[in-house]
Chain A
Amino acid sequence: MLTSVFIAAVSLALFWMAAFTLWWQMHAWRTPEVLASTRFSSPDGDEHVSFSLLLPARHEQAVLDHTIQRLLESSHTGFEIIVIVGHDDPETTAVAEQAAARDPRVRVVVDRHEKKNKPKAMNTALPHCRGDVVGVFDAEDQVHPELLAHVDHAFRTTGADVVQGGVQLINFHSSWYSLRNCLEYFFWFRSRLHLHAQKGFIPLGGNTVFVRTNVLRDADGWDPDCLAEDCDLGVRLSSIGKKVVVAYDSDMVTREETPGSLMSLLKQRTRWNQGFLQVYRKKDWKQLPTLGQRLLARYTLMTPFMQAFTGLIIPLNVAIALFLDVPVGIAFITFLPAVTALVTFVFEIVGLHDFGKQYGLRVRFAHYLKLVVGGPFYQVLLAGAAVRAVWREQRGRNDWELTSHVGAHLDETAMSRQDVPVTREDVPA
């Protein structure tokens, strides 16, 4: 009896979690009108907003110049590019300086922090920004030439304080996990972020994000000690009622690559999860005006852990239903989470098809197969990253407060950040 009640309770909880996540994940496709509203509206040719585009680069001499050239091809006329390099990184600095010498729109700011990270670098550059709006890109980003014109238009027509553009991993064919990784981004930027924008609580992505300079300065820039400083900024800004607008256009997204190995993906996820936990514990989201928003915030920031829990317990639950002697009714309830998981699977398959169509990529049968077969393994990976994040955060919490100047733990953190320099985009999933 007790077993039955326990199993039923766990199953129902799991079911609701999975159902909510699914509901939110499918936000953009709810109605044709919602889908249409997720796109950029066409610019009218007027230009009123000037941009300061931050380009933090670290050991990225190989790709930096190309990224700068791409940005310089932008059709917008009012922008400057501020490349942020480390004082200990002469190769990247050289590339940046050359670009600055060629084009007056490019400037170089040197970050002299002993311990380097992205928020510190961007905070260093913030006082140098002359534009009305600060935009953030990564050194390897491919930016569409029309993007700034669209963002300009979005700022003017919506009165936004923040505009978040789309970021999309593209190399779905590289490996089984890159396929899932790309699809995560697709669902996140194509759909879920819009829901957050609508609900008034949004964790921002790490790049292709544009913030009014004065808003950013009033908020004291980025949190230099947070592992998900982009998420933190979004949470802080939406918590004080700033207007965030999200726009996704498959032509206009910033294209990126997935982490190069499974290990770096795991580390990246650990970092995000830990960052989410930190943001959760900073409690800025508690200022949100409505209970609904606070619940959404609480839930979203806890998502990695819920996801980990769900992924592991669903198979266990089904096994119990099939092999343990429980009443048929209870056994039925234990299947509920699995049903939601199956629905999610099916929508992912359709999402992959849509992804292929929108980006003109050829998705083959084998990819669909990989998507399905890889699903459970990816869940295990996510669960692993979540467990690892909790473990590190628990262990590191004391270190953090006691040794923040000594940096024994930060060293490790910085290491984990540096080992994925080519994929410094922060998208929770």
Chain B
Amino acid sequence: MTSTLPAVTTAKAPAQRRPVPGTGAHRRVEPPSRLRSSRTDLILCGVLLVAILVVQGWNIGDYPALSDDEGTYLAQAWSVQQGNGLAHYTYWYDHPPLGWIQIAVLTWIPALISPESMTVGTMRAAMLVISGISAVLVYVLGRRLALPRWAAALGMVFFGLSPLAVILQREIFLDNLAVMWTLLAFTLAASPSRHLWHHFGAGIAAATAVLTKETMLVVLPALFLTMWRHSHRDTRKFALTGAVTACVLIGFSYPLFALLKGELLPGAGHVSLWDGVKYQMTRPGSGFILDEGSGSWGVLQSWLYYDKVLPIGGLAGALLLLVTWRWSVTARALAGPALAVAIFAALALRPNGYLPAMYVIQALPFLALVLAGGTASVAHAVLSRWRSEAEKRYVGVSRYALAAVLALAAGAYVVPRWYDGARTAVTTDANAPYKAASKWLATEVEDPERTRVLVDDALWLDLVHQGYRPGLGVIWFYKADLDPAVTKTMPRGWKDLDYVVASPTVRRDAADLPNVKAAMEHSDPVATFGTGEDRIEIRQIQTSAGGAR
């Protein structure tokens, strides 16, 4: 047999050195090299995973309320499964398509066994897989970033059980998928073996994240920093170049796809990637986040309504890590996630940026990690900093007492709030009106196949399963005004329709959509489900003759 020479001096190459002048301790806390064979880690992570899956999965279809975006992505995933291309209407490069392609793969087998189960409420179950993987990755990443076991577990708890996380991770959002890929990228970037192909894989995972939700682009500098810190100086050049190359080349497949379809640049009679990007870049801003009354302020308040601990605590954690950078090993180990939080915070603070409600999803794992890291830092400061052999016994005791008091106080603040959040999530039924409306349209309408109805995206697939013609029979309401292929089939405008299902989304957006607005004005409710703002009305179009068409 043949072999290579043994290593020069030591069996293991020296760990990376950080040339920070003027400070003493630069020991690098070695992350555990084999989590797989650590029984304690496996048990801890497994137990937490079960808890997270139970809290997130219980009542997942009934709470929170179905959102339009979920319907959009699931309907497009359905279209992919049907072999109808990337969308059931013209795909117009609003987002890269990899996200709903993944949803299509994820829901493929259940949809094959029971096609009618392909509705938003049911298919939310698929998101549990994503949440589960992401939560485990948060733990593994925490460990790889040298967090002690309890702190990594705490990070996983923050990420998976914060009421804000529970509500957002249940929903079929591209952001959730993108977060999973980003976490994978970070985990690979922090690989303890510092393997070239792990870093290469991190680049691929990062590109996948960006192709899932393009806004993940902004977190790439933090990923780069993580990789820089975790690579060895002898192989860093190759590792980083490999990762960047992989990321860029995979990323280029999106414009390449557009090029191959002849849709890269604007032109007559077709959509283009260029127009899609332009649309995203010029979306009207939602105001300054700290300006009371602005749209962004409202979005922020909606996050804080569910949970203050993770967003505010996370920001505070990031700040603490930043301030203690010079002294704290933990702070330096968590540089990547802290930078990610800083980037997300800076973008949210743009004076007139566009801040969508799911923006915070992408920040959740990093908030969780820096909050856990900050907690670990504080714990370390309280329990062991400036500790010497000669320390008096009463000092040691008071250290533990202080730690216990802090832990109890934090628990007393967090646990009741999170308990309430979890209870709401597992008991509330927010989607009863949707289900009732869907049932009414299935049973009360005589000839669904010849009926034309405007609905919001969340309800669209339900009606498809109930025999309405996908696309032109059951119509995404805004396509009635914005898609020439649809308006062409409505020469008489609202008169060519039979029903409009007025959900909160439809009522809100009708103001800017002439056909929808007219349909609303020329219709009367024949059935109403729910009350107040959240009610869903099924409105039948009235022709000039005074009756139904």
> Which residues of chain A have a CB within 8 Å of any CB of chain B?
23, 26, 29-33, 35-42, 154, 157-158, 194, 196-202, 238, 241-247, 321-322, 328, 331-332, 335, 339, 342-343, 346-347, 349-350, 353-354
Least distance between B211 CB and chain A CB atoms (Å): 13
**Pick from A242, A243, A321, A343: contact of B260, CB under 8 Å:** A321
Q: Does B37 contact A (CB under 8 A)?
A: no
Contact assessment for B5 and A343 in the assembled complex, using a CB-CB cutoff below 8 Å: no
Contact assessment for B7 and A31 in the assembled complex, using a CB-CB cutoff below 8 Å: no
Which of B45-53, B56-64, B188-196, B365-373 contacts the other chain?
A: B188-196
Contacts of B245 in A (CB 8 A): 342-343, 346-347
Cα distance A36–B9 when bound, in Å? 9
Contact with A along B201-244 (1 / 0, CB 8 A): 00000000000000000000000000000001011011101100
Contact assessment for A36 and B8 in the assembled complex, using a CB-CB cutoff below 8 Å: yes
For A350, the closest partner residue in chain B by CB is B241
For A342, the closest partner residue in chain B by CB is B249
Contact with A along B75-89 (1 / 0, CB 8 A): 000000000000000
**Extra A-B contacts (6), CB below 8 Å, given A32-B13, A197-B2, A241-B1:** A40-B5, A41-B5, A41-B6, A41-B9, A245-B3, A347-B238
Contact with A along B252-274 (1 / 0, CB 8 A): 01001100110000000000000
**Pick from B3, B9, B197, B242: contact of A243, CB under 8 Å:** B3
Contacts of A201 in B (CB 8 A): 2
Contact assessment for B13 and A245 in the assembled complex, using a CB-CB cutoff below 8 Å: no
Contacts of B9 in A (CB 8 A): 41-42
Cα distance A322–B256 when bound, in Å? 10
Cα distance A36–B245 when bound, in Å? 25
Cα distance A154–B3 when bound, in Å? 12
In this complex, the member of A31, A35, A331, A335 whose beta carbon has the largest number of chain B beta carbons within 10 angstroms is A31
Contact assessment for B249 and A37 in the assembled complex, using a CB-CB cutoff below 8 Å: no
Contact assessment for A346 and B5 in the assembled complex, using a CB-CB cutoff below 8 Å: no
Contacts of A335 in B (CB 8 A): 253, 256
Contact assessment for A350 and B4 in the assembled complex, using a CB-CB cutoff below 8 Å: no
Cα distance A332–B257 when bound, in Å? 8
Contact assessment for B3 and A158 in the assembled complex, using a CB-CB cutoff below 8 Å: yes
Cα distance A124–B256 when bound, in Å? 61
Q: Given contacts A37-B4, A40-B5, A247-B5, are A332 and B253 in contact (CB under 8 A)?
A: yes
Contacts of A40 in B (CB 8 A): 5, 8
Least distance between B272 CB and chain A CB atoms (Å): 15
- Secondary structure class of chain B's binding surface, majority of residues: loop
Contact assessment for B4 and A245 in the assembled complex, using a CB-CB cutoff below 8 Å: yes
Number of residues on chain B facing chain A (CB within 8 A): 32
Contact assessment for B260 and A331 in the assembled complex, using a CB-CB cutoff below 8 Å: yes
**Pick from A36, A196, A241, A354: contact of B237, CB under 8 Å:** A354
Contact assessment for B246 and A350 in the assembled complex, using a CB-CB cutoff below 8 Å: no
Least distance between A202 CB and chain B CB atoms (Å): 6
For B191, the closest partner residue in chain A by CB is A31
Least distance between A359 CB and chain B CB atoms (Å): 15
Cα distance A397–B5 when bound, in Å? 40
Contacts of A331 in B (CB 8 A): 260
Cα distance A200–B2 when bound, in Å? 5
> Which residues of chain B have a CB within 8 Å of any CB of chain A?
1-9, 12-13, 193-197, 232, 234-235, 237-239, 241-242, 245-246, 249, 253, 256-257, 260-261
Contacts of A198 in B (CB 8 A): 2-4
Contacts of B256 in A (CB 8 A): 332, 335
Contact assessment for B5 and A30 in the assembled complex, using a CB-CB cutoff below 8 Å: no
Cα distance A218–B66 when bound, in Å? 79
Contact assessment for B237 and A37 in the assembled complex, using a CB-CB cutoff below 8 Å: no
Cα distance A242–B2 when bound, in Å? 7
Cα distance A33–B33 when bound, in Å? 14
For A164, the closest partner residue in chain B by CB is B2
Contact assessment for B6 and A158 in the assembled complex, using a CB-CB cutoff below 8 Å: yes
Contact assessment for A36 and B260 in the assembled complex, using a CB-CB cutoff below 8 Å: no
Contact assessment for A244 and B2 in the assembled complex, using a CB-CB cutoff below 8 Å: yes
Cα distance A41–B3 when bound, in Å? 14
**Pick from A33, A339, A342, A350: contact of B13, CB under 8 Å:** A33
**Pick from A29, A33, A194, A353: contact of B7, CB under 8 Å:** A33
Cα distance A291–B127 when bound, in Å? 43
| Interchain Cβ contacts under 8 Å between A and B, 30 examples | A29-B196, A30-B235, A31-B195, A31-B232, A33-B7, A33-B12, A33-B13, A36-B7, A38-B5, A39-B8, A40-B5, A154-B5, A198-B2, A200-B1, A200-B2, A201-B2, A241-B1, A245-B3, A245-B4, A247-B5, A332-B253, A339-B249, A342-B249, A343-B242, A346-B241, A346-B245, A349-B241, A350-B238, A353-B237, A354-B238
For B256, the closest partner residue in chain A by CB is A335
Contacts of B196 in A (CB 8 A): 26, 29-31
Contacts of B246 in A (CB 8 A): 343
Contact assessment for A30 and B3 in the assembled complex, using a CB-CB cutoff below 8 Å: no
Cα distance A288–B13 when bound, in Å? 32
Contact assessment for A37 and B5 in the assembled complex, using a CB-CB cutoff below 8 Å: yes
**Pick from A35, A37, A196: contact of B235, CB under 8 Å:** A35
Least distance between A49 CB and chain B CB atoms (Å): 15
Contacts of B195 in A (CB 8 A): 30-31
For B13, the closest partner residue in chain A by CB is A32
Cα distance A32–B9 when bound, in Å? 13
Least distance between A166 CB and chain B CB atoms (Å): 12
Contact assessment for B2 and A202 in the assembled complex, using a CB-CB cutoff below 8 Å: yes
Contact assessment for B197 and A30 in the assembled complex, using a CB-CB cutoff below 8 Å: yes
Contact assessment for A31 and B2 in the assembled complex, using a CB-CB cutoff below 8 Å: no
Contact assessment for B235 and A41 in the assembled complex, using a CB-CB cutoff below 8 Å: no
Contact assessment for A194 and B234 in the assembled complex, using a CB-CB cutoff below 8 Å: no
Cα distance A354–B241 when bound, in Å? 13
Cα distance A242–B9 when bound, in Å? 26
Contacts of B253 in A (CB 8 A): 332, 335
